[in-house]
Amino acid sequence: GAVVSQHPSRVICKSGTSVKIECRSLDFQATTMFWYRQFPKQSLMLMATSNEGSKATYEQGVEKDKFLINHASLTLSTLTVTSAHPEDSSFYICSAPSARNEKLFFGSGTQLSVL
């Protein structure tokens, strides 16, 4: 079946640095991808909708200048956490809908730890 690949699975970085997370649809094209964030013991929260060829749509309260999203092709969306701080430490997960939009495929997530 369709697979969404997300890399890296785990990253540790110093405060003030930037981190890029990649999300790829492996055997299908995704004009839209979704980025979620999960803090410990809390639910997954939608951060933004990534749109191929246009600007991402951010949910209320999500800083677009801090969480840069680029949907460069029909199979790749990237999330860059700029000038990361310890409070950005979280589990980030991407997803992409199937071609007929009847199913959502998820990546395995990225655990970001900012020291």
Q: Which amino acid makes up residue 84?
A: A
Nearest to another protein of 48, 84 (CB atom) = 48
Which CB sits closer to another protein, 76 or 82? 76
Tokens for 52, please give them: 């191929």
Nearer to another protein, 44 or 62 (CB): 44
Among 6, 25, 75, 110, binds another protein (CB under 8 A): 6
Partnered with residue 46 across adjacent β-strands are 36
**Interaction between residue 14 and another protein (CB under 8 A):** no
Can you spell out the DSSP letters for 66-112? TEEEEEEETTEEEEEE-S--GGG-EEEEEEEE-TTSS-EEE---EEE
The number of helices, as runs of H, and strands, as runs of E, in the chain is 0, 11
Q: Which two structure tokens, joined as six digits, stand for 48? A: 């933004």
Which stretch in 13-21, 28-36, 66-74, 80-88 sits in contact with another protein by CB under 8 A?
Answer: 28-36
In whole angstroms, the minimum distance from the beta carbon of 18 to another protein comes to 24
Structure token pair of residue 18: 């930037």
One-letter identity of residue 110: T
Residues 31-90 that bind another protein (CB under 8 A): 32, 34, 36, 41-46, 49
Positions in the binding site for another protein (CB under 8 A): 4, 6, 9, 32, 34, 36, 41-46, 49, 93, 95, 97, 101-109
